Amino acid sequence: QVQLKESGGRLVQTGDSLRLSCVLSGAAFSDRAMAWFRQAPGQEREFVAAISRSGSDTEIDNSIKGRFTISRDNAKNTLYLKMENLKPEDSAIYYCASSRGYYGPEEIDYDHWGQGTQVTVFS
């Protein structure tokens, strides 16, 4: 059974940096493409970034390009999201998701999801 566990979310100030982590268990991590999504209160969940199984290819949403970086360490079964120059509008629950190979913005193509980690940015 594939399980995903996010961590690293917390309360930060505008302009701060933060790194989120997501550990996968129950499957071979290197066989799974991975992604980050986020959901702010009252809004739909939205795509943030995705990464291929090897880590050689990434997809980043234009709204956060240049501030967020997705990466993975296959030896540690861990996905990361480095977030810099955080803004109040980045406040959301951040979810990691895995797929059999797809790495893009379509939620329906991801078959396992974590419970999320809360990021709150105050000005």
For range 108-117, the mean pLDDT? 97
C-alpha span between 82 and 102 (Å, rounded):
21
pLDDT 10s digits, 80-109:
999 999 999 999 999 999 999 999 999 999
Structure tokens, 2: 């594939």
pLDDT of residue 60: 97
pLDDT 10s digits, 27-73:
999 999 999 999 999 999 999 999 999 999 999 999 999 999 999 99
C-alpha span between 99 and 112 (Å, rounded):
7
